[in-house]
Amino acid sequence: MNAMKRGLGPGGIHYIPAFPYTSYAWMRTEDLLDLFAYLKSLPPVTNRVERKPYTLGRFALAFWKWLALPPREFRPVPGKPESWNRGAYLVLGPGHCAECHTPRNSIMLLNRSRWLAGGRHPAEPKASVPSLRGLIRRGRYKDAEDLYNALKYGEALGYEDLSSGGMGEVQENLSRLPDADLKAIAEYLVSLE
């Protein structure tokens, strides 16, 4: 739980945010416990862990995390449909969409005033990541059903832009979600202006 919610490893070592704990912190504790139980059910993989020295930079992460971690788990937005809230939860937490689709400031904090508005790719400075806002208004998708089809079928239905680059793997993994979850994600995303 410490790793997923607080970015802390054994012995209190601060994980670097390449592990998207700042998104997983939005997740409900019971969902994280279910995820942990599933991971423990898988056969272990042999992997040699390279020991890195504990540097001063890791101590600085404590302050960075104080600024970066959300103040609480996701709370449903009153007045929004259950499916919309499910989509918001999946996008904010386990989907960790903001990690790439939200611009960052000079100390790599997500710019919450430009949430999911696209920008430079965090790992490839010359590449850009598209905005997930105004998807219908900007003509990216006709409606939530169109976005659902893109998430579900990607390139197979001609949505090459979604299934290219790093999004290809994302789309492939998303396609395995239950249809209700994909439709909820689409409903939430097309509502963003």
d(CA 190, CA 134): 7
pLDDT digits (tens, 9 = 90+) for 117-132: 998 887 787 888 899 9
* Interatomic CA distance for residues 153 and 168, integer angstroms: 11
- Name the residue ranges covered by the structural domains of the chain: 1-73, 76-193
CB 79 within 8 A of CB 173: no
Whose structure tokens read 């996008």? 91
pLDDT reported for residue 154: 85
Report CA-CA distances (Å) from 142 to 22, 87, 148, 156, 190. 32, 18, 11, 18, 9
- Contacts for 57 with CB less than 8 Å, ≥ 6 apart: none
Q: Look at residues 113, 123, 114, 105 and name the one whose alpha carbon lies nearest to residue 20.
A: 123
The set of residues, in sequence order, having a beta carbon less than 8 Å from that of 31 and lying 6+ positions away, is: 93, 94
Fold for the domain defined by 76-193? Cytochrome Bc1 Complex; Chain D, domain 2 (1.10.760)
30-55 pLDDT, tens digit each: 999 999 999 999 999 888 877 766 66
- CA-based torsion, 83, 84, 85, 86: positive or negative: positive
How many whole angstroms separate alpha carbon 110 and alpha carbon 34? 27
For residues 81-87, give the mean pLDDT: 99
Per-residue pLDDT averaged across 180-184, rounded? 98
